[in-house]
């Protein structure tokens, strides 16, 4: 073999090795390049209720609810945060010992509410204890959404603070009835949440509620970080707009003397977790917050109808496009039955009315809160 042929052969081998190594290197990096599940989807080109009829209500609604909101987060959001201050008393003296705060809440499908809650309470909470079940409140299997969301760019900043507790129920041991209101599934989830308190220091501070019961930063700050503290346990009286941020709902569960509030989120020491029931109002209360109930974002409307304790029908397993459109329309019209415009709210209840700072500085991010069209679910 001549020297030239040997040189050509060596060159060829080197080139082959180069391309093999290059391909291996690129291929090995692919797992690191994550395309967020909440990016654009071809299904968005289809009317949401059409997709419900084609793919089934659960699959369609879940896919749309995981999409990123169309309006991105403002880069100057932090400038919108109001200053926290003690209107009564003085800031808590840290020399008295550290404060450890656990926000324990039940979560199912409320993805937008979860994002708002994290942003609102993050600086005042040490740990978010997200309790999720592998069944819904009708006893049917559901995916564990936090396992999906924890890698989403929306939620990465909070992941290190989240303690994910899963209530695992053997799927062959229970099956609910979508035509029946069954409270036991919800109660069992709350019992699991309270069990967590047994592992906490007795003077750890615990917030208890559903993910969509969002206490205002100021009310939370005054309840924990101002001295003297109010008497624990206490209830938070939060604003109940019933899905429309220009109205207020006279609820069946207000704190005392404040009819336009919802009074079930609570705060207590860990040692008080088992005082009374997990859903109880206390004589001490603090006003301020937002209950994101009756959120008229179409995918959420369908998920709540399918899985909520007080909702549902077996017939919705095979939901038609017309049924979907009817449910979405009903959500918007139902807000005007027992609600009043904000200018008719009594003065003593105005303190409870609060829009989380994330919504204030991103007014287009959750258009359904103003009964406007959300591009993630064109109906």
The pLDDT tens digits for 272-296 are 988 766 678 899 999 999 999 889 9
Q: Is the pTM value of this prediction over 0.75?
A: yes
At 299, the pLDDT band (50, 70, 90 cuts) reads very high
The per-residue pLDDT of the chain, averaged, comes to 83
Query: Between β-strands 266-269 and 205-210, what pairing exists: parallel, antiparallel or unpaired?
Result: antiparallel
How many C-beta neighbours within 10 Å does residue 40 have? Answer: 11
Give the pLDDT score at 176.
Answer: 65
Q: Which of the residue ranges 179-188, 257-266, 268-277 has the most confident prediction, judged by mean pLDDT?
A: 257-266
Across 197-207, b (16+ Cβ under 10 Å) vs e yields beebeeebbbb
Would you tell me the crossing angle of helices 217-224 and 111-121 to the nearest 10 degrees?
50
Q: What percentage of the chain carries pLDDT values higher than 90?
A: 56
Q: Which position has the token pair 């937002």? A: 290
What residues have CB less than 8 Å from 133, skipping those under 6 apart? 108, 142, 166, 167, 168, 169, 185, 189
What mean pLDDT is predicted for residues 134-139? Answer: 80
d(CA 328, CA 368) in angstroms, rounded, equals: 11
Give the pLDDT score at 11.
Answer: 52
At 66, the pLDDT band (50, 70, 90 cuts) reads very high
What mean pLDDT is predicted for residues 103-121? Answer: 96
- Give the range among 71-80, 197-206, 249-258, 325-334 with minimum mean pLDDT: 71-80
Q: Is the pLDDT of residue 225 over 60?
A: yes
Q: Is the pLDDT of residue 67 over 80?
A: yes
For residue 195, the surrounding DSSP H or E stretch is helix 184-197
Q: Is the pLDDT of residue 150 over 90?
A: yes
């Amino acid at each position: 073999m001549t020297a030239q042929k040997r040189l050509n052969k060596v060159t060829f081998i080197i080139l082959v090795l180069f391309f093999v190594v290059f391909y291996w290197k690129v291929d090995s990096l692919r797992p690191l390049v994550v395309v967020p599940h909440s990016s654009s989807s071809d299904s968005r080109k289809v009317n949401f209720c059409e997709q419900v009829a084609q793919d089934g209500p659960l699959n369609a609604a879940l896919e749309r609810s995981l999409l990123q909101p169309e309006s991105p987060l403002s880069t100057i959001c932090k400038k919108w945060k109001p200053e926290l201050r003690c209107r009564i008393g003085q800031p808590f003296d840290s020399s008295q010992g550290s404060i450890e705060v656990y926000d324990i809440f039940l979560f199912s499908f409320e993805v937008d509410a979860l994002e708002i809650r994290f942003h609102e309470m993050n600086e005042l909470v040490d740990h978010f204890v997200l309790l999720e079940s592998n069944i819904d409140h009708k006893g049917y299997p559901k995916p564990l959404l936090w396992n999906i969301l924890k890698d989403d760019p929306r939620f990465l900043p909070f992941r290190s603070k989240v303690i994910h507790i899963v209530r695992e129920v053997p799927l062959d041991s229970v099956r609910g009835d979508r035509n029946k209101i069954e409270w036991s599934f919800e109660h069992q989830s709350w019992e699991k949440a309270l069990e967590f308190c047994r592992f906490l220091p007795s003077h750890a501070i615990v917030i208890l509620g559903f993910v969509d019961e969002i206490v205002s930063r100021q009310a939370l700050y005054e309840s924990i970080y101002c001295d003297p503290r109010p008497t624990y346990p206490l209830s938070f009286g939060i604003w109940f707009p019933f899905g429309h941020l220009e109205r207020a709902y006279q609820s069946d569960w207000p704190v005392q003397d404040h009819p336009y509030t919802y009074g079930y989120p609570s705060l207590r020491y860990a040692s008080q977790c088992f005082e009374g029931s997990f859903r109880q109002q206390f004589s001490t209360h603090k006003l301020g917050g937002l209950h994101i109930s009756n959120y008229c974002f179409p995918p959420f409307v369908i998920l709540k109808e399918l899985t909520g304790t007080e909702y549902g029908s077996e017939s919705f397993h095979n939901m038609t496009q017309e049924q979907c459109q009817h449910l979405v329309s009903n959500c918007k019209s139902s807000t005007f039955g027992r609600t009043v415009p904000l200018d008719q709210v009594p003065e003593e209840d105005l303190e409870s009315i609060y829009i989380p700072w994330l919504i204030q500085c991103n007014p287009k991010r959750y258009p359904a809160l103003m009964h406007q069209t959300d591009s993630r679910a064109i109906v």
